[in-house]
């Protein structure tokens, strides 16, 4: 591991990307990912398990990470689930400074790696070594404990139109949707929250990332916004209406965090961290529980 990588904060980071991140111009999001991995001298694993065109995905990120100065990359192809239980491969991933999951299909990603040695290695790299875990599109949705598995994106919330599955569990008590504004997915995020009000919904726009420093705080980077839907105090008739009907939803909170937003937990303000300086401002009370959930160092179901 490089000296630069060894010197980075051991909190560990998540870079959760809404898809279609800029890979040709400023490369802001991927540059930040590389920085949090430890810089150009870091070792980065690229997991293409979500995609049915893994060669294309590998070439795409091999090129862009190379342009950002990284020349130590590990290609992690998972053509079958048995590959993800290969101890030698898992050991190599465990020692990486950064692990990046490409887009594709989050259900395919979980079917291939969920509960395997590769899954365990990713968690060990994050928790024990302070690695950075990144994921775009399907790789972003898979980050949470409760993953969006199926769902329509219609104009109104609709009971029964979405379903959840088990995710990788890097964060808990949230569910993540991607390509959010571009594909008009507020209705389906409201549907998820109506049916699972203890979850907070996170919608991430394209070329936008929610960056999480575990135990510390968050920042939003890129060109769009992160939308948070908080229905923990909602009043709803969702349990009493038939499938396909639109539920009544009262007292749902919505927070919009544009790029440049950043907050640290109140107790972490003034302590060393890798968030931007403006994160030292006090987070609104409405965001504190969200920050605690999404930055929890040792999430449990």
Q: Is residue 109 packed enough to be buried (19+ CB in 10 Å), middle (13-18) or exposed (0-12)?
A: buried
Question: How many CB atoms are closer than 10 A to CB 255?
Answer: 17
Catalytic residue among 158, 206, 213, 219: 206
Please name the residue that has the structure tokens 């008009």. Answer: 184
pLDDT at 299: 61
Residues of the chain with pLDDT under 50: 1-9, 300-301
Q: Which residues contact 37 (CB under 8 A, 6 or more apart)?
A: 5, 8, 44, 70, 97, 98, 131, 132
pLDDT at 16: 98
- What SS3 state is found at 254? strand
Q: Please check whether residue 99 is in contact with residue 134, taking contact to mean a CB–CB distance below 8 angstroms.
A: yes
Catalytic residue among 11, 13, 179, 273: 179
State the Cα angle at 285 between 207 and 201, rounded to 5°: 40
Q: Which fold has domain 3-295?
A: Rossmann fold (3.40.50)
pLDDT at 6: 37
Q: Is residue 179 annotated as a catalytic residue, yes or no?
A: yes
| Ramachandran angles phi, psi of 235, nearest 5° | -110, 125
Q: Is residue 31 annotated as a catalytic residue, yes or no?
A: no
pTM for the whole structure: 0.94
Spatial separation of the C-alpha atoms in residues 20 and 205, rounded to whole Å: 9
Catalytic residue among 51, 137, 236, 261: 137
Element (H, E) at 208: strand 208-213
Spatial separation of the C-alpha atoms in residues 133 and 97, rounded to whole Å: 9
pLDDT at 81: 98
User: Distance of alpha carbon 92 from its chain centroid, rounded?
Assistant: 22
Q: What is the 3-state secondary structure (H, E, C) of 46-87?
A: EECCCCCCHHHHHHHHHHHHHHCCCCEEEEECCCCHHHHCCH
Q: Is residue 155 packed enough to be buried (19+ CB in 10 Å), middle (13-18) or exposed (0-12)?
A: exposed
pLDDT at 153: 67
Q: Is residue 13 annotated as a catalytic residue, yes or no?
A: no
Question: How many CB atoms are closer than 10 A to CB 293?
Answer: 15
- For residues 138, 135, 203 and 18, what is the CA-based torsion angle, rounded to 10 degrees? -90
* Buried residues in 112-130 as b, exposed as e (16+ CB within 10 A): bbbebbbbbbbbbbbbebb
Q: What is the token pair recorded at 219? A: 């920042």
Question: How many CB atoms are closer than 10 A to CB 252?
Answer: 19
C-alpha gyration radius of the chain: 18
Q: Please check whether residue 229 is in contact with residue 211, taking contact to mean a CB–CB distance below 8 angstroms.
A: no
| Ramachandran angles phi, psi of 80, nearest 5° | -150, 160
Mean pLDDT of the chain: 93
């Amino acid at each position: 591991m490089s000296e630069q990588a060894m010197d980075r904060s051991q909190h560990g980071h998540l870079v959760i990307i809404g898809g279609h991140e800029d890979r040709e111009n400023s490369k802001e999001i991927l540059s930040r990912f590389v920085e949090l991995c430890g810089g150009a001298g870091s070792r980065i694993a690229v997991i293409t398990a979500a995609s049915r065109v893994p060669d294309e995905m590998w070439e795409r990120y091999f090129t862009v990470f190379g342009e950002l100065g990284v020349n130590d990359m590990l290609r992690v192809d998972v053509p079958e689930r048995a590959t993800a239980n290969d101890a030698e491969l898992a050991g190599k991933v465990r020692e990486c400074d950064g692990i990046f999951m490409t887009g594709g299909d989050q259900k395919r990603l979980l079917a291939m790696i969920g509960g395997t040695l590769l899954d365990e290695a990713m968690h060990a790299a994050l928790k024990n070594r302070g690695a950075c875990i990144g994921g775009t599109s399907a790789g972003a949705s898979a980050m949470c404990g409760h993953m969006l598995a199926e769902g329509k994106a219609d104009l109104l919330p609709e009971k029964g139109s979405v379903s959840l599955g088990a995710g990788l569990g890097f964060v808990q008590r949230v569910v993540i949707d991607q390509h959010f504004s571009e594909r008009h997915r507020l209705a389906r995020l409201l549907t998820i929250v109506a049916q699972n009000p203890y979850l907070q919904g996170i919608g991430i726009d394209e070329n936008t990332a929610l960056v999480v420093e575990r135990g510390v705080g968050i920042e939003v980077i890129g060109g769009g916004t992160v939308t948070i839907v908080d229905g923990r105090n909602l009043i709803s008739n969702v349990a009493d209406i038939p499938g396909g009907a639109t539920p009544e939803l009262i007292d749902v909170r919505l927070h919009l965090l544009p790029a440049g937003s950043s907050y640290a937990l109140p107790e972490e303000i003034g302590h060393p961290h890798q968030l931007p300086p403006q994160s030292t401002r006090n987070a609104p009370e409405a965001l504190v529980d969200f920050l605690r959930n999404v930055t929890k160092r040792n999430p449990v179901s």
